[in-house]
A and B are shown apart, each in its own frame.
Chain A
Amino acid sequence: MHPVKFKNPFTRKWGEDYKAEELTTIFSEFIIPLIPSFFDFPNVFLYGGSGTGKTMLLRYLSFDIQKSYFEKEKGEITNLDEFFEYSSERVNKALGRKINFLGIYSKLTEIPTSLFENKCHNKQQEQILFKFYLDLEISIKFISSLMGLIEHYTNIQNKKRIEAKILDCVKSCSDIPKSAKFSDILKHLTDKKNQIDMYLGSFDINNSGVTSNELPRFSVSGLFELFINLVEVLQTQVEEFRDINIYILLDEYERIEEHLKIVINSIIRSRNEFLKLKISLRRYGFTTSRTLNPSDFVLIGRDAELIDLEYICRHSKSKYKRLLLDIARKRLESEQFFQSRQITDIRKLLKSITIESEASNLILEKRVKLEHRKRFEAFLSLYETADFDETMKTVECDENILIEKLNMLLVKRRIIYQKRGVKKRKLYSNSEISDMATDFMRKPRERSSYFYLYEKNKLALLFQLVNEYGKYNKRKIYAGFDTFAALSGGFIAWFLDLCYSTIENTRDKGFPNDLLEIGVDLQRKAAEKVAWDFLDNVVRNLERIGDDIYYFVLNTGAFFRALYLDELLREPEPTYVNTKITGLKDTSQQIIKTAHYWSVLQSKIPMRPKEAGEPLPDVHILHPILAPVFQISYRTRGRTKLPPEDMESLITGSEADVRKLVAKYRDKPLSRIQISSGQRRLFNS
């Protein structure tokens, strides 16, 4: 049988890279219900890491895409009311209320701000140049969008009226000649912009006598707040725009320097009632609230709202999953191969596996000896020999290896806590354990103490089992739609990458099979590949201190992994640490802040501290996409409170330092902690 050829529908592109016609087929409006307040506030800062869908959303709201949708269904725009009505329909449906809009999208990295420093003597001059350039950039896009909008407007009289209003506004805000016509506007503005571009591309050297042309010159004049005034003119003087929200969509705000952010902040602070700025940026990219007026500032909540898309996606799990399902469906439907076979449900395509099945698969093969029993026996021999056989009989459960592991855990806790004289914990005798386990097996859904213990610890116990059977090349299975959604950690791009790699793995592997699904092992390999790619290609290449963050992540992942092997499993599934970063050295703070900025670390609202009166800590969650690298959980469950000095060990410490740290936080003597060698030096037990 010849392998079937097909195009992978999950090809990665950044939001800006899609052509309008591509974007209209793959964008999912299900992102909108996640952030309804985006439309409630005039000015919004939309937080999110790279790949969370911010750019896609801004582009979706832009005129280019509005036009593309309209033209696909209705042809040329001949009636403005019809256009606004139609193009807002999808948003309205997703949001549950009516919002007519026109979006002007601009990416701030298109402004060559890095060249400003060469041409300006101080930051004030740079601010003036930036304001001017920004005005030109947005105005050009704004006016070309308006031209595209009214190009085929059939009501000629109205068309002329709108053109006249726009022209009047341009004349009052710029030095365009009084005799200029509507059709001259774009050329005038583009020439002005080219003049700056030429100036920025020139050297400051006078070689007169050799060069016949004069050096490029330009002055920051002849344009004043055109796009701001144009919004006002349209909304107050042009009937067709009276109820239209004009969104100025600014992407990549975090990429511009702080003194230039101040220029945008000032526009926000002006609180022009007609202007609505929707600004996207990385988390923590809003680094200053200052404005050009030294005694004034932007106040979040008053002048703008801050919406954390990344956080929302991680915490509104069902809505996030619905969004991912819809995106995947659109992707699959866009390729004939999948469409024709009706493979459009990613949940069905990605086979999943229960924790119990995964655990029992670990010991399926004949060659595999029952390692976990051997280890438990060794534990009993070390601590208690009196009722060895009875205890072994109590814990064994051939039907469910996880129940057996839980029984072992309860026995271990009893033995160790009794030896230590710990009184606060509930400890179970062998007969209690046996009775509870039997009842649980009989009525697995009944909310018993054992039920809660099982639910709380089963995944952590599976990780222990995977480690115990590691010598048989057993790996944790990361598979199924729900797991991929959790691994992506709120990043649509990582979910798509997981799907992409999975689909790539099916090539020449007998896909499509009769069941039209992809096995868990191919998914596991894909998850590991994407995770390592993230570590090696994203984390390591972060600007300036990529290597520092890379080793910090390696240390942290290895530390967490070692904690999974805690005999007493005091904190199941550790994936985050609590540390007040102000207690760290400056350079370490910088590493942590940068890791957060690039979403290598994520945060959440801290849980109540264990000790009363303790201040709330800062939370640092390792991005779940890294879970397959370290063979740890992707859930945000187990916290480890680290004082700053121990956090320093993770940030800059050696393997030996981390080994000491593990010994401190894990119930195991130092001598028994071994470190695997090789290029990928991770901790094992």
Chain B
Amino acid sequence: MINGNIFRLDEYLRNNPGAFDLYIGSISFEERCLGAAKMFRKTSQNINRIYFIDYLYLLNIASKRHATMLQKDRKKRIKQQATNKKVLISLFPNAEFPYIRIRSPLMDISRFIESFFSKERVKINEAKRICVDISTFTKPFSFLLVKMFVENFKKKHLFIVNTIPAQYTTAPLSFNIWGSEIMPTYNGIWNPQNRSALIALLGFEGNKLSSILEKWSFTEIIPIVGFPAFYPGLQDRALVANTSALKNLEALHNIQYSSALDPFESYRLMRDIFNSYHSGYNVAIAPLGPKPMAFAAALLAIEHKLRIVYTFPQEYSSSYSQEIGESYLYEVNL
């Protein structure tokens, strides 16, 4: 059973001068990766260890027709990321910036996480108030981080930060699908004698859900839309994007709603769904929707050994989001 509290990050930091003693964030092409860091600086937080993981998604460009366009967009992405890194270095010159270049999304992230945690094991074990900023980590990254803290470091108390962008552009997050796979380490326990059900957290790219439904088979599909959404209308974007994947399956009748901002509500909803399918079913979750909901999925999957299935993109788009919006802090009691 998992519960916790939600805060606005700026307010929390103002009221808690020593909010955290270890922070793990990421450097991304999205400007919002700076959101929490700027607030730390503004409220003069004294954090013992700060890590900004500098990761770049550099899969081989498979597309022939769009190779030039993708190369150009990739350069732009790298440039934006380098600019953001400079800002972070100027804000926190003593922070550490471990880096990784991802060429195999299934292998590289988990190997990096294992090696990072092995190296920093002592410091992480010592830390009492750990904060992970999931704003601009890709989902595989944040899922592995969460699992590592919960299972291998037995942390019962975690802080999660999510900064939303000021605006989502109409550009898709990613270009082409690399493949749908089981999330590394989230294999779950899968009983071959059971039927299977999928809890699908709907995102803006319906093709990702289609890819999952095409690869695996589920006798039941329960879609969840983030509503209220980060911004009014985003729920419609998610619904429209996924309609064609769900319509013929008649899964549109089963749609459930949960606040995009509240992982605890999402956790409870998914737990109830899981309980209703517990007997005779293998339950998998496809975290294709908002990050707080995906975080809830990770917690539920760890707790009940559920399978996470995910569609890995081939390439990320540099213009998916704009500027920095609100930052939220989730205090999690495991």
Contact = CB atoms under 8 A, between A and B. Distances in A.
Interface of A: 11-19, 50, 55, 106-107, 109-110, 112, 114-115, 117-118, 137, 140-141, 144, 190, 193-194, 197-198, 200-207, 209-211, 255, 497, 500, 533, 537-538, 540-548, 551, 587-588, 591, 651-652
Contact of A548 (B64, B152, B218): B64
Interface in B214-255: 214-219, 244-245, 248-250
Given A203-B117, A497-B248, A547 B175 contact: yes
Given A198-B189, A591-B64, 17 more contacts: A14-B217, A19-B219, A115-B185, A118-B111, A141-B193, A200-B185, A203-B113, A203-B148, A209-B125, A210-B153, A497-B248, A541-B207, A541-B210, A543-B179, A543-B211, A544-B314, A545-B176
B187 interface: yes
B63 interface: yes
Given A109-B215, A543-B211, A587 B187 contact: no
Contacts of B114: 203-205
A112 B216 CA distance: 11
A548 B250 CA distance: 31
B190 A201 contact: no
Interface string B7-21: 000000000000000
Contact of A112 (B113, B182, B214): B182
Nearest to A193: B192
Contact of B195 (A19, A205, A540, A587): A19
B1 interface: no
A649 B206 CA distance: 31
Interface in B275-325: 305, 314
A106 B217 CA distance: 12
Contacts of A190: 191
Nearest to A51: B214
14 contacts: A107-B217, A197-B188, A201-B186, A207-B117, A497-B248, A541-B211, A543-B178, A544-B179, A545-B64, A547-B175, A547-B176, A548-B62, A548-B64, A551-B65
A117 B105 CA distance: 12
B110 interface: yes
Nearest to A536: B244
A505 B193 CA distance: 39
Contacts of A18: 219
Nearest to B181: A114
Contacts of A544: 62-63, 176-179, 314
A18 B64 CA distance: 39
Contacts of A204: 114
Task: Specify which of A198, A543, A546 lies most central, judged by the most chain B CB atoms within 10 Å of its CB.
Answer: A543
A14 B251 CA distance: 13
A154 B111 CA distance: 56
A207 B65 contact: no
A589 B324 CA distance: 44
Interface string B191-217: 111010000000000110011011111
A207 B152 CA distance: 7
B151 interface: yes
Task: Specify which of B106, B110, B217 lies most central, judged by the most chain A CB atoms within 10 Å of its CB.
Answer: B217
Task: Specify which of B125, B187, B188 lies most central, judged by the most chain A CB atoms within 10 Å of its CB.
Answer: B187
A197 B175 CA distance: 32
B106 A118 contact: yes
B183 to A, nearest CB: 9
Contacts, number: 152
B218 A17 contact: yes
A345 to B, nearest CB: 23
Given A210-B153, A546-B177, A140 B192 contact: yes
A205 B213 contact: no
A537 B210 contact: yes
B152 A203 contact: yes
Contacts of B191: 190
A455 B234 CA distance: 54
Listed from nearest, the 3 A-B pairs whose CB atoms lie closest are: A16-B217, A12-B248, A541-B207
Contacts of A114: 106, 181-182
A198 B211 CA distance: 26
Contacts of B176: 543-547
Contacts of A207: 117, 121, 125, 152-153
A207 B207 CA distance: 39
Contact of A203 (B62, B63, B151, B211): B151
A587 B186 contact: no
B154 interface: yes
A117 B248 contact: no
Contacts of B177: 541-544, 546
A contact patch SS: helix
A211 B106 contact: no
B125 A205 contact: no
B90 interface: no
Given A16-B217, A197-B190, A537-B207, A205 B152 contact: yes
Contacts of B148: 203, 205
Nearest to B115: A205
A656 to B, nearest CB: 14
Given A205-B118, A540-B207, A545 B62 contact: yes
Nearest to B308: A201
A15 B219 CA distance: 10
Contacts of A541: 177, 207, 210-211
Contacts of A547: 63, 65-66, 175-176
A540 B65 CA distance: 13
A341 B218 CA distance: 33
Contacts of B181: 114
Interface in B84-118: 106-107, 110-111, 113-114, 117-118
Contacts of A55: 217
A140 B282 CA distance: 15
A88 B185 CA distance: 42
Given A17-B217, A537-B210, A201 B192 contact: no
A15 B213 CA distance: 12
Given A118-B107, A140-B193, A537-B207, A205 B219 contact: no
B189 A652 contact: no
A542 B214 CA distance: 11
Contacts of A203: 110, 113-114, 117, 147-148, 151-152, 185
Given A11-B250, A201-B305, A497-B248, A110 B107 contact: no
A655 to B, nearest CB: 12
A548 B217 contact: no
B187 A197 contact: yes
A79 to B, nearest CB: 24
Contacts of B185: 115, 200-203
Contacts of B107: 117-118
A11 B271 CA distance: 28
Contact of A13 (B153, B182, B249): B249
Contacts of B213: 14
A140 B193 CA distance: 8
Contact of B64 (A13, A50, A202, A588): A588
A115 B245 CA distance: 27
B293 to A, nearest CB: 21
Contacts of A548: 62-66
Contacts of A17: 217-219, 249
Contacts of B64: 545, 548, 587-588, 591, 651-652
B305 A255 contact: no
A106 B193 CA distance: 10
A11 B314 contact: no
A587 B111 CA distance: 31
Contacts of B65: 547-548, 551, 652
B222 to A, nearest CB: 14
A281 to B, nearest CB: 14
A19 B197 CA distance: 12
